[in-house]
C-alpha cells in the first residue's frame, strides 16, 4: 500500500452561492451611498416638478447618472479603504519616527498636492468654465478655460503647502488660531484689493470656492493619517494637545484660496487673459442671440384657435382654461346679483404650459455615453495612479518596508480606479445636468427667463421680492437637508462628543453645522438674486469668526474650523456648484455663479463657534451654581454647630 497524504478539504462555491455571500455586503455599501444622496436629489426633483412646475429635461439620462454616481462612490470608497488608506496609515505612523524634517516636509507637500488631483470634485471644477461668457468675465473665463491646468495645479500647490504647515504645527505645537487668524486676515485683505478692480473681482468667487473643493474623501483621510502619525511621535506643550489632527483640514481649505488669487493676479499683470494685449487664444464671436433679449410673451394669454371658436359657437360654454371679462356697459346690484346692461364681452384663453415630465427626449444626444466614459476613465487614471506610485515609492525606498496584504491593496486600487471613473461618468450624466437645469430655472420665481424644457419666455411667478425669497428659502432647506445626509458629519459628531467628554453633543453639533451651511447657501442665492459683491458678503461673517476664534478655547477652534470641511462632500460640491453656475447664467447682470460654496463654508464655522461658546458659558454657570449650593449646604452644619456651642 502506498501511504496516503492527508490534505485539507477544499470547497468550491458556485456562482449562486458566491452571489449570496457577497450580495449583503454590496447592498449595505451601496445603500450607504444612497443614504448620502437621496435627500438632495429628491429635493431637487420635487422642487422643480411641483414648485417650479417644470419638466426634468433628459430625465432618463439624469436618473441613470445618479445611479452610476451611487455605484461609483460605493467602489471608490471601498477602494479608498482597501487601497489608499493602508498606504496613508503605514506611512503616517512610521515616517515621522524614522525620518527627519527634511524628508517629512517634501513628502507632506507631495501628498497634499497628489491627493488634491485625485479628488472627484476637481473634475467638476475643470468643467465649470463652459457656462462663463468671455465678454462678461474675461479673466475668470481664461482661468477656467485657457489656464485650467494651471488652476488645478495652483489648488494642489495650495493644499501641499497647507499640509507642510500643518506638519510644522504638529512639531512645534502651534495653536491653530495663531495660523488661521492671520491667514484669513491676509485673504480678506487681498479680496478687498481684488474687489476694487472689476476684472479681479470676477475671480473672487472661484478662488474662495476652490477652498471647499479640496477637502474631499481623498485628501482628508490621507492628510489626517499623516497628521495623527506626527502627533504620536512629537509632544505638544500647549492647550492644543490631543486635538492637533483637526487643524490640517482647515489649512487645506485656506491655502488654495490664496494660491488661486495669486494665480489670477499674475495673469492680470501679464495681460494674457481673454481680450488682453498678450492673449494668444481664440477670440469667441458673440452671436446676435447673446446680445438681443428674447421676445417677451404674456404668460397669461394664448391665441384662440379656429377649432376652439367653433366648439364655443356650438356649445355656448367656455372651458375652465378661459377667462371672461366685461368692459363698458352699465352695472347695478339687484337681489344680490350684478346686472350689466350692454356690456362688451372679451373672452381670452388662459396660458397653459404644454410639456411632458420627461422632456422631449430621455437622453441628451450631444452627450455621448462612451465619450463621457472614456474621459472619466482617463481622468481617474491620471488622478489615482501617480498618487499610488508616489506612496509606494515612499514606502519602499524611503521607509524600506514591504506592503502588507499587497493583494488586497491591489484590489482596492482597482476599485478606486473603477469607482472614480464611474463617479465622473455619473457626474457628467446626472448630477451636473440636474443641478444646472434647476439652477437655470430657479430665477423664474423672480425674473423673466426661458426655462429649460420650454421654448418660450416665462414671466416671474411672484412680483417684487417674494419670488427672490422663495429661491432663498429653497436654498436654505437644500443646504440643511444635504448637510445632515453627509456621512462625514456623523463621524465628526462622534469624535467631537468624545473629545469634549459629552459637553458638545453629537446632535447639537450636527444641527449647528447644518444650520450654518443652510444659511451660507441661502446667502449665496441672496447674493446672486440681488447681484451683490461677494467680498461684502464674506467680510462680516469672517470678521466675526476671527473675533470668536480669538476668544474660544483651542478645542472648539479645532473642530469648529474643520466642520466646514465635512460639509463639502463629493455629492454636495458638484450639485451646488452646478446649481450656482446655472443661477448665475440666468440672472441679468450676474457674470458667474461662484461664491455659494465659500459662504456655505464660513456658515458652520460661525455657528459651531457660537454654540460652543454658549455651551461653555452654560457649563460654567451650572458649575458656579453647584459650587454655591455646595457651599450653602456646608455652611448649614457649621452654623448649627456654632449655635450649639454658644
In this predicted structure, what is the pLDDT of residue 191? 96
Please state which of the ranges 301-310, 380-389, 445-454 shows the lowest mean pLDDT: 301-310
Do 217 and 288 contact (CB within 8 A), yes or no? no
Beta-carbon contacts of 116 under 8 Å, excluding residues fewer than 6 positions away, are 122, 152, 155, 156, 159, 160, 214, 219, 256
Paired sense of beta strands 344-350 and 301-302, if any: antiparallel
Residues 534, 527 contacting (CB under 8 angstroms): yes
- Is the confidence at residue 207, as pLDDT, over 70? yes
pLDDT for residue 25 is more than 90: no
The confidence score (pLDDT) of residue 93 equals 75
pTM score, whole prediction:
0.78
- Pairwise CA distance, residues 567 & 495, whole Å: 16
Q: In this predicted structure, what is the pLDDT of residue 433?
A: 86
Angle formed at CA 108 by CA 400 and CA 261, multiple of 5 degrees: 155
- Most confident stretch, 296-300, 357-361, 391-395: 391-395
Q: Which 3 state secondary structure label does DSSP give 348?
A: strand
Nearest in space to 67 (alpha carbons), one of 43, 34, 35: 34
Q: Which of the four pLDDT bands, split at 50, 70 and 90, describes residue 161?
A: very high
What per-residue confidence (pLDDT) applies to 73? 85
DSSP for residue 187? H
Question: Across 31-45, 137-151, 339-353, 613-627, which has the greatest mean pLDDT?
Answer: 137-151
Residue 319's pLDDT band (cuts 50, 70, 90): low
Alpha carbon distance 210, 108 (integer Å):
20
User: CB burial class (10 A; 0-12, 13-18, 19+) of residue 372?
Assistant: middle
Q: Is the backbone of residue 631 left (phi > 0), alpha (psi -120 to 50) or beta?
A: alpha
pLDDT beyond 90 at 27: no
Nearest Cα to Cα of residue 602 among 558, 561, 559: 561
Phi, psi of 461 (to 5 degrees): -65, -40
Phi, psi for 453 (deg, rounded to 5):
100, -15
pLDDT score recorded for residue 260? 95
- pLDDT for residue 542: 94
pLDDT one-digit tens code per residue, 549-608: 999 888 778 778 877 776 666 777 777 888 887 887 777 767 677 888 889 889 999 998
What average pLDDT does this structure show over 196-210?
92
Give me the numbers of helices (H) and strands (E) for the chain, helices first please: 24, 5
Please state which of the ranges 144-148, 488-492, 496-500 shows the lowest mean pLDDT: 488-492
For the chain, the first-to-last Cα distance in angstroms comes to 110
pLDDT at 242: 43
In this structure, what DSSP letter does residue 396 have?
A: I
Residue 300 has pLDDT above 60, yes or no: no
According to the model, what pLDDT value does residue 96 have?
77
DSSP character at residue 318? -
Q: Find the helix or strand (DSSP H, E) in which 521 lies.
A: helix 506-529
State the CB neighbour count (10 A cutoff) for residue 355. 15
* Sign of the torsion angle spanned by Cα atoms 39, 44, 50, 55: negative
Most confident range (mean pLDDT) of 161-170, 361-370, 451-460 is 161-170
User: Which is higher by pLDDT, 352 or 297?
Assistant: 352
pLDDT of residue 335 exceeding 90: no
d(CA 118, CA 417): 10
Q: Which residues contact 21 (CB under 8 A, 6 or more apart)?
A: 13
Q: What would the grid cell of residue 255 be?
A: 491655502
Q: Give Rg (Cα) of the chain.
A: 30
197 vs 53: CA distance, rounded Å = 40
329 pLDDT band, cuts 50/70/90, is: confident
Average pLDDT along the chain: 79
Contact call for residues 350 and 323 (beta carbons, < 8 A): yes
**pLDDT surpassing 90 at residue 181:** yes
Strands 330-334 and 344-350: unpaired
What is the rounded CA–CA span in Å between residue 323 and residue 306? 17
Q: What string of DSSP letters covers 20-80?
A: HHHHHHHHHHHHHHHHHHHHHHHHHHHIIIIIS----TTHHHHHHHHHHHHHHHHHHHHHI
Beta-bridged to residue 330, according to DSSP, are 341
Closest alpha carbon to 176 in 638, 558, 588: 558
Which residues have a Cβ under 8 Å from the Cβ of 572 and sit 6 or more positions away? 40, 482, 483, 486
Q: Please provide residue 334's backbone torsions phi and psi, each rounded to the nearest 5 degrees.
A: -130, 120
The answer to whether 179 and 244 have CB atoms below 8 angstroms apart is: no
Burial class (CB in 10 A: 0-12, 13-18, 19+), 303: exposed
- Cα–Cα separations (whole angstroms), residue 246 to 157, 447, 610: 20, 44, 18
Q: What is the pLDDT confidence band of residue 10, given thresholds at 50, 70 and 90? A: low
How much is the pLDDT for 353? 56
Amino acid at each position: 500500500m502506498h501511504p496516503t497524504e492527508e490534505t485539507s478539504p477544499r470547497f468550491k462555491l458556485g456562482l449562486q452561492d458566491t452571489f449570496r455571500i457577497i450580495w449583503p455586503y454590496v447592498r449595505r455599501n451601496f445603500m450607504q451611498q444612497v443614504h448620502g444622496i437621496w435627500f438632495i436629489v429628491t429635493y431637487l426633483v420635487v422642487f422643480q416638478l411641483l414648485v417650479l412646475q417644470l419638466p426634468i429635461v433628459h430625465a432618463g439620462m439624469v436618473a441613470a447618472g445618479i445611479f452610476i454616481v451611487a455605484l461609483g462612490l460605493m467602489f471608490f470608497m471601498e477602494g479608498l479603504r482597501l487601497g489608499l488608506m493602508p498606504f496613508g496609515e503605514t506611512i503616517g505612523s512610521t515616517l515621522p519616527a524614522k525620518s527627519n524634517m527634511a524628508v517629512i516636509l517634501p513628502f507632506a507637500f507631495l501628498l497634499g498636492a497628489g491627493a488634491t488631483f485625485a479628488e472627484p470634485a476637481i473634475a467638476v471644477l475643470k468643467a465649470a468654465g463652459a457656462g462663463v461668457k468671455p465678454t462678461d468675465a474675461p479673466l475668470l473665463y481664461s482661468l477656467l478655460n485657457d489656464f485650467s491646468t494651471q488652476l488645478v495645479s495652483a489648488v494642489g500647490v495650495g493644499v501641499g503647502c497647507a499640509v507642510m504647515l500643518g506638519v510644522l504645527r504638529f512639531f512645534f505645537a502651534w495653536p491653530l488660531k495663531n495660523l488661521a487668524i492671520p491667514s484669513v486676515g491676509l485673504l480678506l485683505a487681498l479680496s478687498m484689493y481684488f474687489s476694487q478692480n472689476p476684472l479681479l473681482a470676477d475671480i473672487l468667487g472661484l478662488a474662495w470656492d476652490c477652498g471647499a473643493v479640496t477637502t474631499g474623501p481623498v485628501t482628508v483621510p490621507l492628510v489626517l493619517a499623516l497628521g495623527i502619525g506626527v502627533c504620536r511621535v512629537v509632544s505638544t506643550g500647549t492647550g492644543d494637545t490631543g486635538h492637533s489632527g483637526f487643524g490640517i483640514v482647515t489649512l487645506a481649505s485656506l491655502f488654495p484660496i490664496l494660491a488661486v488669487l495669486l494665480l489670477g493676479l499674475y495673469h492680470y499683470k501679464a495681460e494674457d487673459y481673454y481680450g488682453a494685449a498678450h492673449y494668444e487664444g481664440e477670440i469667441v464671436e458673440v452671436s446676435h442671440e447673446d446680445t438681443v433679449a428674447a421676445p417677451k410673451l404674456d404668460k397669461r394669454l394664448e391665441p384662440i384657435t379656429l377649432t376652439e371658436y367653433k366648439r364655443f359657437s356650438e356649445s355656448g360654454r367656455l372651458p375652465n382654461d378661459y377667462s371672461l371679462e366685461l368692459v363698458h356697459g352699465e352695472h347695478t346690484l339687484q337681489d344680490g346679483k350684478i346686472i350689466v346692461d350692454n356690456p362688451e364681452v372679451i373672452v381670452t384663453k388662459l396660458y397653459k404650459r404644454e410639456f411632458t415630465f420627461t422632456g422631449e427626449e430621455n437622453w441628451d444626444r450631444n452627450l455621448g455615453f462612451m465619450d463621457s466614459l472614456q474621459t472619466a476613465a482617463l481622468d481617474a487614471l491620471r488622478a489615482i495612479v501617480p498618487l499610488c506610485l508616489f506612496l509606494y515609492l515612499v514606502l519602499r525606498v524611503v521607509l524600506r518596508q514591504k506592503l502588507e496584504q499587497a493583494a488586497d491593496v491591489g484590489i482596492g486600487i482597482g476599485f478606486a480606479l473603477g469607482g472614480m471613473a464611474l463617479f465622473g461618468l455619473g457626474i457628467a450624466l446626472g448630477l451636473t445636468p440636474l443641478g444646472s437645469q434647476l439652477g437655470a430655472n430657479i430665477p423664474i420665481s423672480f425674473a423673466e427667463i426661458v426655462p429649460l424644457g420650454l421654448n418660450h419666455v416665462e414671466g416671474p411667478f411672484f412680483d417684487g421680492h417674494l419670488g427672490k425669497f422663495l429661491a432663498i428659502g429653497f436654498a436654505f432647506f437644500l443646504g440643511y437637508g444635504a448637510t445632515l445626509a453627509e456621512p462625514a458629519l456623523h463621524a465628526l459628531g462622534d469624535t467631537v462628543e468624545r473629545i469634549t467628554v459629552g459637553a458638545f453633543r453629537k446632535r447639537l453639533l450636527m444641527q449647528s453645522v447644518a444650520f450654518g451651511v443652510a444659511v451660507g447657501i441661502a446667502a449665496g442665492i441672496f447674493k446672486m438674486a440681488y447681484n451683490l459683491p461677494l467680498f461684502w458678503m464674506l467680510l462680516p461673517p469672517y470678521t466675526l469668526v476671527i473675533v470668536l476664534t480669538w476668544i474660544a478655547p483651542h478645542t472648539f477652534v479645532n473642530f469648529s474650523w474643520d466642520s466646514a470641511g465635512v460639509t463639502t462632500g463629493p455629492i454636495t460640491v458638484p450639485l451646488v456648484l452646478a446649481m450656482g453656475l446655472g443661477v448665475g447664467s440666468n440672472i441679468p447682470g450676474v457674470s458667474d455663479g461662484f461664491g455659494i460654496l465659500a459662504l456655505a463654508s464660513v456658515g458652520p464655522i460661525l455657528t459651531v463657534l457660537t454654540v460652543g461658546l454658549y455651551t461653555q458659558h452654560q457649563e460654567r454657570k451650572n458649575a458656579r451654581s453647584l459650587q454655591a449650593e455646595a457651599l450653602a449646604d456646608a455652611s448649614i452644619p457649621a452654623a448649627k454647630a456654632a449655635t450649639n456651642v454658644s
